[in-house]
Structure formats: C-alpha cells, structure tokens
Structure 1
C-alpha cells in the first residue's frame, strides 16, 4: 500500500496543474498569487535579516611592550604599581556603590 502517488512525467504534471488552474475563478487566482507573493516576501526578509547585525564589532586590544632585558625587581615594581591602581579603582567603585546605597537608604 503506497502512501504517495506514483511519479509522473513533468509534462503530465504541468498539464494537470494547468487544467486544475484553468477551472478556478479569477478571484481564486488573485488570492493564489497574493499568497505566493506574501510567502516569497517573508522568506526573502528572513534571508536579509539573517545578515544584519550578526557580526561582532571589531575590538582593538592594546598590548604594552616591555624590553627584553628587564630585571625581576622591575617586574615586581610594575606588579606592585598595577596592584595599587587596581585597589584604587576598587575603592572608587565601592565609594560609588556606597553613595547609591545612601541615596536609596540601604544600609
């Protein structure tokens, strides 16, 4: 028991479709054309929209260049300096949050 009809020659299928459509009224043909047009437009919009704003913006990364003959003391001094900067930023951020908390009455 076959679920699908047997395969036909493309000419036979075209003639069958032409005969089917020739028995339809003008309003049915207009509705068919509009339905096909709307479907094609929606699919076209999906293809265009898939290419809009999908790529991430370029990011620029700046790298600090160090000389090859740095001593361990220089490296440790730079690390201490960077740590102090990070702690200062953290204290500033904490002060900002404390100010917001005071504004809203949060303890």
Structure 2
C-alpha cells in the first residue's frame, strides 16, 4: 500500500488560512488554545527539570572534636544535642498543629 505524497508548505499554509478565515471567531480561539496547551505543558516540564538540580553554593558546617575526648564528654554532648533536637521538633509540631487548626482539620 502506497503512502500519500506529503503536501507542500505553501498548500498547508493556504489550507490553514482558508480554514481560519472561512468561519467564526471561535476557530481562531480554538486554534490558539490548541497551540498554547502543548507549549505550556512543555514549558512546565522544562521548569520542573531545572528545579533543585542547578549547582549552587552550599555551606556545610562541621564540628571539629579533639581526638582525646572521653566517653562521658561524648555522651554529655549527645544529650545536649538531643534536647535541642526535641525542642526543634516540638516547635515544628506546634506549627503544624496551628496550621491544622486554621484549616479546620
């Protein structure tokens, strides 16, 4: 089975012009919407692909500890760090609970 011959660009533009001029304003609006929808989708994918992957400056703070620390010092520091973490978690939980109350959940 033979495939049909492709149309020339001139014939395509003439056909499109006759189609758009031959009817009401709704054809132009639908044509614009049909062109914009895939463009918006493709731009959304492009924007999403660039989210959170572009290189940037990142500062990481690392504490330096002496090599001759005793186990008691390590345990004491871990307890201090645990209390700080529990306070931060409680604050975050309170914020989420306040938001839930505002939203009626």
TM, length-normalised to structure 2: 0.45
Higher CA-based Rg = 1
TM, length-normalised to structure 1: 0.45
